[in-house]
Amino acid sequence: MSSLASVDPQIAELVKAEERRQADTVKLIPSENYVSKAVLEATGTVLTNKYSEGYANKRYYEGQQVIDQIEVLAIERAKSLFGVNHANVQPYSGSPANLAIYLAFMQPGDTFMGMNLPSGGHLTHGSPVSITGKWFKPVSYNVRKETGRVDMDQVRELALEHRPKVIFCGGTAIPRTIDFPAFAEIAREVGAILAADIAHIAGLVAGGAHPSPVGHADVISTTTHKTLRGPRGAMLMANDDEKATALNKAVFPGLQGGPHNHTTAAIAVALHEAAQPEFKAYAHQVVANAKALAEELNSRGFDLVSGGTDNHLILIDLTSKGVAGKPAAKALDRAGLETNYNTVPFDPRKPFDPSGIRIGTPSVTSRGMGEAEMRQIGAWMDEVVGALAKGDAEDVIARVHREVSELTAQFPAPGL
């Protein structure tokens, strides 16, 4: 970063500080990961200099000879990896990708269904603070209180009652396998389009560690980071020609202008990496690590939503521990264990001060950690949360942070 340090030493120093922080921290936020050096290099190329409104071979600006090849390569790799007929790699991120689904298949005021945000859904699945909850008519489904799992009976009853145009499945805090066939059957019964939001699990789907929505969902949206280990971008996929055309028109010109070509190239790199045999092993290890961490936390009396996990993600209700999610997340962060405070199903507390924390294993698995390290992480979490509940946590936090630093030194992070 010699040029950056010369031109803007303040930003250069902050970037270095963030790199040191990421190297020294056990990243447990399930939506975060480490990209490879190759992905990082692609995001920093001269491709950022080029505007490319439109699609390959149908652009509005000249000079697209190279850009078209890059975008086509990313598309073909996405189609091959996920087994779909059509892919759009231009959405800027997950929320714009989901907005394209609304624009493609709905009109303002139309009814749709999505998972309730406190139950594990996403803001763009109809939260009242989101444009999707303001411009459309959301009908929310939940998880069962006694199991923490999606109530498919409720989904069907609501669908039959409200006849939605679109049904979203997937979300941001779902620790269990998504039953795509069951959702598809309900969608067919009421004549709705099934949209599978696999932003969190795309890497697991690509690696064969989670069932695929392909063949069940009409349209699929995903981010390209999280478990897929790509840049901050998104994709939309479909098998049906007509639906794919509608999605393309919704992305451009419906919502966006020129795509971010440097991101497109980095997506192509990440998709190439995800097609390698070692990525499949990575995806399965993510799940194995999450299960090991969940078992350790269970054994230490933590209340896990749904009792455990099938994927990369664990949602913890800290009520029984006598602490709230926000102070717990901040204490854990000071100890070098990076989590996020999160609502839990039927949470009586407010979203900015909820009862739970959300953790996951994509990043630690990218560093090469395994089940033994997960058990140690669970023990550290128990120590910090226990000390916090007693009101005297700082000595414990300082000691755990030293021990965390010793562990992270043994497992260098990719790309740093």
For residues 135, 239, 120, 326, the Cα torsion angle rounded to the nearest 10 degrees is -90
| 34 included as an active-site residue | no
Selected catalytic residue, list 197, 218, 303, 310:
197
Selected catalytic residue, list 53, 179, 295, 382:
53
Q: By 3-state DSSP, what share of the chain in percent is helix, strand and coil, each rounded to 5?
A: 50, 15, 35
Selected catalytic residue, list 50, 232, 280, 334:
232
Rounded Cα gap, residues 227 and 35, in angstroms: 10
Rounded Cα gap, residues 278 and 382, in angstroms: 32
CB atoms within 10 A of CB 297: 24
| 51 included as an active-site residue | yes
Rounded Cα gap, residues 48 and 223, in angstroms: 20
- Is 122 assigned a ligand-binding role in the annotation? yes
CB atoms within 10 A of CB 177: 15
- Is 32 assigned a ligand-binding role in the annotation? no
| 232 included as an active-site residue | yes
Selected catalytic residue, list 77, 176, 226, 367:
226
Rounded Cα gap, residues 101 and 198, in angstroms: 14
| 223 included as an active-site residue | yes
Rounded Cα gap, residues 407 and 136, in angstroms: 48
| 60 included as an active-site residue | no
For residues 334, 336, 338, 341, the Cα torsion angle rounded to the nearest 10 degrees is -30
- Is 121 assigned a ligand-binding role in the annotation? yes
Selected catalytic residue, list 19, 24, 32, 51:
51
| 282 included as an active-site residue | no
Terminus-to-terminus CA distance in the chain, angstroms? 13
- Is 242 assigned a ligand-binding role in the annotation? yes
Catalytic residues: 51, 53, 197, 223, 226, 232
Which residues line the annotated binding site for (6S)-5,6,7,8-tetrahydrofolate?
117, 121-123, 242
Which residues line the annotated binding site?
117, 121-123, 242
